[in-house]
Amino acid sequence: MKKITIAIDGYSSTGKSTLAKELAKHLGYIFVDTGAMYRAVTLFALDNKFIKQDFFDQKALIENLPNINLEFQFNKDFGFAEMFLNGDNVEKQIRTIQVSSYVSQVATISEVREKLVEQQQEMGKNKGIVMDGRDIGTVVFPNAELKIFMTASAQTRAQRRFDELQSKGDEVTFEEVLKNVQDRDFIDTNRLDSPLKKAEDAIEIDNSNLSRKEQYNIVLEIIQELL
Ligand code: DC
């Protein structure tokens, strides 16, 4: 059967990765969560004190980019690939509110984007891939056969992220999470390099009032027609 490239972009906490993961499993495709890569670079910057409370040494991070090795390793038990930063499994550390609050700033740096986009294009060179992020349909794979653009209200998205963080025992308030979602929306859509925007040929899905299953079925139907 012919293999295609599926690009899923959209705002934070719209369930992009969940959808991408389910589609990849069904199709036997590779799944790549590119947000995890930007998060891992942010964790590296925090660990090395390039980022402190009100200070971000972007120059030091750029100089150290060659020292950052990112790798996805498939975890059989979970059924998806986990993020490894310089050999360490950082899947848990990259999902904290601390990393979330700096990652959009890190993602504005062109040198960071250039490094990650190159790695992403390499991972998808043989197609058979579902990749989610902010610039997949516009920059990473502009020729992808299927582009999905996901949206939902900020309230809905913050509630989802809040529930997820709470279930992990993270002590955050709903207001903190909502502010983080709104701040990231602003930075992601207004940055100069590869801002978040719907590709002209992308199919937009607002899932504020859709269940996970309903959304999955809509996209699966589109894919079946394409294949
Ligand atoms: O999908 P996520 O919330 O894990 O992404 C974290 C941040 O990384 C997001 O605020 C913007 C950035 N990002 C990006 O700029 N480009 C991508 N392809 C993926 C994520």
- CB 133 less than 6 A from any atom of ligand 1: yes
pLDDT of residue 30: 95
* Span 62-74, pLDDT tens digits: 999 999 999 999 9
Reported as a single tens digit per residue, the pLDDT across 196-227 is 999 999 999 999 999 999 999 999 999 999 99
Residue 108 CA: nearest ligand 1 atom is: 15
C-beta pairs of 71-76 under 8 Å, 24+ apart in sequence: 72/32, 72/36
Sketch the domain layout of the chain as residue ranges: 5-226
Nearest-atom number in ligand 1 for the CA of 103 is 7
* pLDDT-based confidence at residue 57 (cuts at 50, 70, 90): very high
SS3 content of the chain, % helix, strand, coil (to 5): 50, 20, 30
At residue 216, the pLDDT reads: 97
Instruction: Give the position, in ligand 1's atom list, of the atom nearest the Cα of 104.
Output: 10
**What pLDDT band is residue 54 in, cutting at 50, 70 and 90?**
confident
33 bridge partner residues: 132
Q: Is the pLDDT of residue 95 over 90?
A: yes
Distance 200 CA to ligand 1 centre (A): 20
**Ligand 1 centroid to 145 CA: how many Å?**
22
Residue 13 CA: which ligand 1 atom is closest?
Answer: 3
pLDDT of residue 78: 86
With a 6 Å cutoff on the Cβ, whether 10 touches ligand 1 is no
Domain 5-226 in this protein, CATH class? alpha beta
Question: 6 has which bridge partners?
Answer: 130, 146
Q: Where are the beta strands (DSSP E) in 68-145?
A: 70-75, 80-85, 88-89, 129-133
**Cβ neighbours around 213 below 10 Å, total:** 9
The pLDDT of residue 53 is: 87
Residue identifier of the C-alpha nearest atom 18 of ligand 1: 133
Predicted confidence (pLDDT) at residue 127 exceeds the cutoff of 90:
yes
User: Could you tell which of 21, 38, 140, 190 is best to mutate to test the pocket of ligand 1, judged by most ligand atoms within 8 Å of the CB?
Assistant: 38
* The pLDDT of residue 1: 79
